[in-house]
Amino acid sequence: MQVFVYGTLTDPEQVAALLGDGPGAYEFVGPAMLEGFQRVDGRYPTLLPGARVEGELLAVDEPALERLDRYEGVDRGLYVRVSVPKADGGSAAVYVGNPAQLGVAADGAWADEGSFGDAVRSYILRENTVVRSHE
């Protein structure tokens, strides 16, 4: 599976510290762009609806993905992991932080569609959000 990363996980040293002692395997695939979102900084970086954000694609196996989920606080509602289509086929996982949890002003950024995760997924579909690998 590929994960689009845009914050601390773009730093190879940070990823090695997090995932390098196993279980799980990872590999940097290369630079990429996420269209339809913009990066904003609060307690931690997150994404809001917007133009585009530069980042990296990281290939991970299931144990590494589970470690990333723990790191991103998915179980605590800090971030949600969503699937975004890739322009060249397939999809990439993307972690989107909950603005209320991260101290980010997001007035009207997410439609009230139930849970935060549902609002993000609905936006991705509605706005044809896509991850593009840099060639």
Domain 2-128 bears CATH identifier 3.30.70.1170? no
Output the pLDDT for position 135.
61
pLDDT tens for each residue of 52-91: 999 999 999 999 999 999 999 999 999 999 999 999 999 9
Domain ranges in the chain? 2-128
Residues 6+ apart with CB under 8 A from 96: 37, 46, 47, 79, 80, 82, 120
In the sheet where 130-133 sits, what is the strand order?
Answer: 79-85, 91-97, 2-5, 45-60, 26-41, 130-133
Q: Indicate whether 102 pLDDT > 70.
A: yes
Alpha-carbon distance of 5 to 97, in angstroms, equals: 12
